[in-house]
Structure 1
């Protein structure tokens, strides 16, 4: 069984992305207070990762992100794993997803007439490996060669393991995104890029999201989707507008649920006055998003809200599908 981005969007109008891996693992009792974060669970209790994927499939997700955001070769080796073990753990993130998908599909999804979920290989920015908050700013002070070396082998491993798309997510800068895009293009693998943003127009590094869309839309034939994640939900409508004006690619958004992150204490603080997550999701669909889901602190209940409002959105008239090139 194999479906494409276009297949799913034609079937459902809007593709539903899953939610946070970290928050869902914590709900299952995992302790993520370490530098490896979710990658520690991938190594020590992989069945919890499988349970998270199954939960999101059951909640209605049409695609899911592998538990590989924090799984990097240098990060794993600095925490006691050999290079071979680190590479195997990165492959494992895809293998767990694929097994969970097949189990869910055969037992539930096929009979329910659901789309066969896409496997998105989650690839975090260099700053995620540093675990010091620089993933949100892009201030690394390293060379392009070092960035390429950091990203390339992990990207190769995830592609070889069978992921349907490479997802370079939480990208703080156009500069790092272009290095990631170059790797994917050289591997001739389909991918999408998702930026983290500090307001309705700018990435964490300060690049205009409009410029990111305009530059990446040229000479990147394997780029199949562009979007925003790990961003406050109130900024997303503006960002969708900026993207739509500067690209014909489908737009994917999966913001945080609304809390504020403190990189020092590694904790989230609830904010007051936010809309219901489903209400935000409906706004994103109306603004032109082709895929909607959740990032930090979102769990199954948030994805169920997205699925429900998609029905509301479809009742307003089936949206036109942007076909992936």
Structure 2
């Protein structure tokens, strides 16, 4: 099997190298399921360390505010996820201001500095949230219907999305320069590296395609690897299925801001790669993910994706059906796209009255227990999930349980 360590120097990896690296991780000898392991909810752990992440305390930066007052705690969280088995670590920059984004990437680099070879194969992602996260009020879970964003039409909204995301992406360019490395830690003035940008919890189809256009068409960003993760819900308010239920959800999942998941993903693949991904070398996403959804929604999302007609989506479906019969696949079959990533929240619900989290009565499985992942991972993997992790309320203990199931 491929030795992962030689693929990493101090320089950031480019798109093709990351895809090869993900494939090498997924098919390492002895792994029970061919999935790379993503880290879990960052704010969850920062709060457990005693930090107040309320809007008043953080001025809207959420966990990123801790970068300046307690960077050692941010490093501690990164290391806990590494020790739990995460193979992809994300920076604490999801809701960060422009000024805080470089700090988040530097703190992530410091958290891995001088560790043993366990950290040598870890991919570093710069987390960037949607405009909704910066506006606050949980809009990433509802979309922009409660705002005036679309009042002047789609083109005006597109320009708003572009003005928000373009400078944030530009702030990340130095992390992907050829001379980018970790020597900033020794004080010679260079900047820390990152491996890709991860746009997370995007609730709107137009915002997703706007991000894609920036990453594929703007010459400043054409060499920056990236991925995108969408926020989804059911099309109607039917009650969730219990995790243990064998029933299938017949209600079509859609983005939080509207639009059936298969149609939105197909539109995103076309805008990123074109209708024929083999005909060009556009800088499409490394993978498309779905995050901070309740765990019971992941299966319906993945099942709905089998309706996508784009060649890369069809390829995901074909490969997922042959996984049990194929121990190691040829890397060129998956050369352009790493498939689907899923990292749900714990399924808990926030009670504003008691100011506490609680698990719905229909859900009895806890992500800190192996049984949770033993139930979900085989299904998600068989439906094409190639990257699995956690989001809100899933901490290092949950990722450790996931790693035990995935690694066998």
Which residue of structure 2 aligns with residue 25 of structure 1? 46
For the residues of structure 1 that align with 2:266 and 2:384, how far apart are their CA atoms? 17
Moved more, 229-238 or 94-103: 94-103
For the residues of structure 1 that align with 2:134 and 2:232, how far apart are their CA atoms? 19
1:93 aligns with 2:104: yes
Secondary structure of the structure 1 residue equivalent to 2:286? strand
Which residue of structure 2 aligns with residue 66 of structure 1? 91
The answer to whether the 8 Å contact 1:16/1:60 transfers is: yes
The answer to whether the 8 Å contact 2:209/2:271 transfers is: no
1:109 aligns with 2:110: no
1:298 aligns with 2:394: yes
Question: Once superposed, what is the RMSD of the aligned Cα atoms?
Answer: 2.2
For the residues of structure 2 that align with 1:147 and 1:47, how far apart are their CA atoms? 33
For the residues of structure 1 that align with 2:294 and 2:51, how far apart are their CA atoms? 25
For the residues of structure 2 that align with 1:92 and 1:49, how far apart are their CA atoms? 11
1:43 aligns with 2:105: no
For the residues of structure 2 that align with 1:276 and 1:141, how far apart are their CA atoms? 39
For the residues of structure 2 that align with 1:63 and 1:155, how far apart are their CA atoms? 20
Which residue of structure 1 aligns with residue 136 of structure 2? 131
- In the superposition, the TM-score normalised over structure 2's length comes to 0.67
CA deviation profile, 1:161-210 (whole Å, cap 9, x unmatched): 33211111101111111111122222112211111111261110121110
Determine which of 247, 259, 269 is the counterpart of 2:348: 259
1:215 aligns with 2:267: yes
- In the superposition, the TM-score normalised over structure 1's length comes to 0.83
Secondary structure of the structure 2 residue equivalent to 1:8? helix
For the residues of structure 2 that align with 1:264 and 1:168, how far apart are their CA atoms? 32
Secondary structure of the structure 1 residue equivalent to 2:94? coil
Determine which of 160, 171, 176 is the counterpart of 2:207: 176
Which residue of structure 2 aligns with residue 206 of structure 1? 258
For the residues of structure 1 that align with 2:344 and 2:289, how far apart are their CA atoms? 10
Secondary structure of the structure 2 residue equivalent to 1:218? helix
For the residues of structure 2 that align with 1:201 and 1:173, how far apart are their CA atoms? 13
Which residue of structure 1 aligns with residue 247 of structure 2? none
Determine which of 225, 230, 248 is the counterpart of 1:195: 230
Shift in alpha-carbon separation, 1:244–1:267, aligned structure 2, 3 A: farther
Secondary structure of the structure 2 residue equivalent to 1:198? strand
Superposed displacement of residue 65, structure 1: 1.1
Shift in alpha-carbon separation, 1:4–1:102, aligned structure 2, 3 A: farther
CA deviation profile, 1:218-245 (whole Å, cap 9, x unmatched): 2423211002001010010111122344
Which residue of structure 2 aligns with residue 275 of structure 1? 365
The answer to whether the 8 Å contact 1:132/1:264 transfers is: no
Unaligned runs of 5+ in 1: 74-85, 313-325
Instruction: Kindly name which structure, 1 or 2, has the bigger radius of gyration based on alpha carbons.
Output: 2
Which residue of structure 2 aligns with residue 243 of structure 1? 305
> What does 1:281-292 correspond to in 2, within 5 Å?
281-292=377-388
For the residues of structure 1 that align with 2:341 and 2:142, how far apart are their CA atoms? 21
Shift in alpha-carbon separation, 1:42–1:14, aligned structure 2, 3 A: same
Moved more, 253-262 or 60-69: 253-262
The answer to whether the 8 Å contact 1:65/1:119 transfers is: yes
The answer to whether the 8 Å contact 2:35/2:406 transfers is: yes
For the residues of structure 2 that align with 1:225 and 1:6, how far apart are their CA atoms? 13
Which residue of structure 2 aligns with residue 141 of structure 1? 148
